[in-house]
Amino acid sequence: MEVLWRYHFWPRFSRKMVPAAGFFWRVAKKTAFSGYKPVPPKPERPQTLLVFSDENHLELLLENLWTLANSWHALPRLVVVGDLKAKEAVFRKALHWWPHEWDFMPYEQIEQTFMMENRSWLVEFGRYHIFGRKLAAILHFARQSPTLYCDSDVLWLGEPAFLDRIDPHTPGLLVSVNPFASYCEAMIDSSSTDLMQPPFACAGLLYVSQWPWPEMILKEWVNRAMTMPPHPLAEQTIFGFLVRHFGGYIPNQDVALFLVDRDRFLPINCRPAWSARHYVTPVRYHFHRDALLMRLGIIRRKSVNKSS
C-alpha cells in the first residue's frame, strides 16, 4: 500500500480509466433506452430555442432536447440550424418525437440573408470558421425573437429561472459563466484586458434578444478574428467582450459548468439545484453517464423556489 500511495495509483488510474468508461456509459444508455417516445404537447414559451448542429453531433443533440422536453413545463419554439450540407430529412426523422412543430434552416440560407443585407463581414467569418457560422445563426434569430442558444453537449433538469425574470420584448444579452478565461488571447488588446478578469463568458449557452450593442463594435471584433488564423475560441471572445459591456451573466445555479469531477466515475451530486449542466470538452465523457442516470431517475433536480 505504501508503494501505491507513493505513486498516487488511484489518481493515475482514474485519469486514464474515467474517460474510457464514458464509452461504456454510452453503450449502456443505448442498450437500456433504444429510442425516444413522443412527448405530449406542452404550453409554449415566448422564446426561441436555437441549436446549431451537423449530423456528427446528432446523438448529443437528441439527448439534450430529450431532457429539455421532459423537464420543462413550457417549451420554446425550436429552431435547428444545420451546418453546411446538413440534411433536413435526417433531423426530421431523428426528432419525430418533439411535441410541437419546429423549424429547420440550412446555414446557407442565413448566409444568403446577410449577403442581401450587405453584411459580408459576417458571411466571411462564417466561411472562415464553424464558430463564425454559429455566431451568424445566433445573430440572425436574435433579431426575430428572444433566443436561447444552446450547444449540443448540455443536459437539462428543469427550466432556468432567469427566463421568467426577463422581459422578452427588451433587447438584452445574458451569457453563461465559464470558470476559466477561455478566449483567443491574440484578439485581446490593451483596451480589453479586463476580459482576463472574472467573470468569464461561455458562449455554449446564452440568451440574446435583438442586438443590444452597436453594430460597429461587433464588426470590429469580427474583423479582429479575421486577421489571425482561425481560432476555436474567437466567437467566445467576441461574446465575452459584448456581455461585459452590453449584457449580464446567467446565474451559476441555472447553468453549471465545472471540471472537478473529471476523474470521478460517479457524479458528485445526484440532487443538484442547477437547471442544466454544460459538458465541455474536458468532461464530455460524463455526458452519457449523466444522461443514463437521469433517465433512471438517479439524478434529479433538487426542489427549487422559482420565485427566489
* Residue carrying the nine cell digits 420584448: 169
Looking at the chain, the whole-number percentage of residues with pLDDT higher than 90 is: 87
Number of domains in the chain: 1
Q: What are phi and psi of 8, to 5 degrees?
A: 50, 55
Banded model confidence at residue 35, pLDDT cuts 50, 70, 90: confident
End-to-end CA distance of the chain: 50
Q: Which residue has the higher pLDDT, 17 or 215?
A: 215
Q: Which residues contact 25 (CB under 8 A, 6 or more apart)?
A: 285, 288, 289, 292
Contact 84, 129 (CB under 8 A): no
In a domain, 92, yes or no: yes
In a domain, 242, yes or no: yes
Identity of the residue numbered 105: M
Closest CA to 173 of 151, 198, 192, 201: 201
Q: Write down the pLDDT at residue 306.
A: 47
- As given in the structure block, the three cell numbers for residue 251 are 446565474
In a domain, 85, yes or no: yes
Looking at the chain, the whole-number percentage of residues with pLDDT higher than 70 is: 95
Q: How far apart are CA 87 and CA 108, in angstroms?
A: 12
In a domain, 1, yes or no: no
Contact 290, 277 (CB under 8 A): yes
In a domain, 280, yes or no: no
Q: Write down the pLDDT at residue 13.
A: 77
Q: What is the value of pTM for the model shown?
A: 0.93
Q: Write down the pLDDT at residue 14.
A: 83
Q: Write down the pLDDT at residue 91.
A: 98
In a domain, 214, yes or no: yes
Q: pLDDT tens digits for 60-104?
A: 999 999 999 999 999 999 999 999 999 999 999 999 999 999 999
- As given in the structure block, the three cell numbers for residue 60 are 448529443
Tell me which residue range forms the domain holding 158: 44-249
How many H-runs (helices) and E-runs (strands) does the chain carry? 10, 10
In a domain, 205, yes or no: yes
Q: How far apart are CA 11 and CA 294, in angstroms?
A: 26
CATH number of the domain bearing residue 72: 3.90.550.10
Q: How far apart are CA 226 and CA 132, in angstroms?
A: 10
In a domain, 120, yes or no: yes
Q: pLDDT tens digits for 125-135?
A: 999 999 999 99
Q: Write down the pLDDT at residue 122.
A: 97
- As given in the structure block, the three cell numbers for residue 236 are 467566445
